[in-house]
Amino acid sequence: MGAAIVDALDAPTRLLAARRSAPPALAGKWELPGGKVEAGETPVEALHRELREELGVTARLGAEVVHPDGAWPLTPALRMRVWWAVVDGEPAPLEDHDELRWLPRGQWGSVDWLPGDVALIAALERA
């Protein structure tokens, strides 16, 4: 599950990007915050938990960013569902990331995104 964290759900002008610190193969690449669903969790519960653990924030979720096939392909075997979100408080890179960056609209594709996120970021910018 992932969150497209923006400054406003109705007319976003900034998107939060998180730079991976591990594993070594992914370190230095950028992604949307989020993570895996644990046993007994719904996708939305997992996303809220991941945002607390990774960024130390609570979120208000907006609409799901739906992929035509139901979920965004990250790898041939992994898929991700994504929701627009706004957060309470200032996000901090607490876990799995070493830097966070607010990207202005029009520059959402300006960082070195993980390959699986590139099409998603382009779709977010068109939305």
From the first residue on, what is the mean pLDDT of each consecutive set of 10 residues in the chain (127 residues)? 97 97 94 95 97 97 92 88 96 96 97 94 93
The CATH number that applies at residue 116 is 3.90.79.10
pTM of the model: 0.95
For the chain, where are the E strands, in sequence order? 2-5, 14-20, 30-31, 58-65, 72-73, 79-80, 82-88, 97-104
Q: Is 45 helix (H, G, I), strand (E, B) or coil?
A: helix
Amino acid at 68: P
Q: Give residue 117's pLDDT.
A: 92
Under 8 Å between Cβ of 64 and 82: yes
Domain that holds residue 65: 2-126
Residue 56: per-residue pLDDT: 97
- The reported pLDDT for the residue numbered 76 is 84
Q: Which two tokens stand for residue 51?
A: 């945002």
- What does the pLDDT look like over 78-99, one tens digit per residue? 899 999 999 999 999 999 999 9
Number of domains in the chain: 1
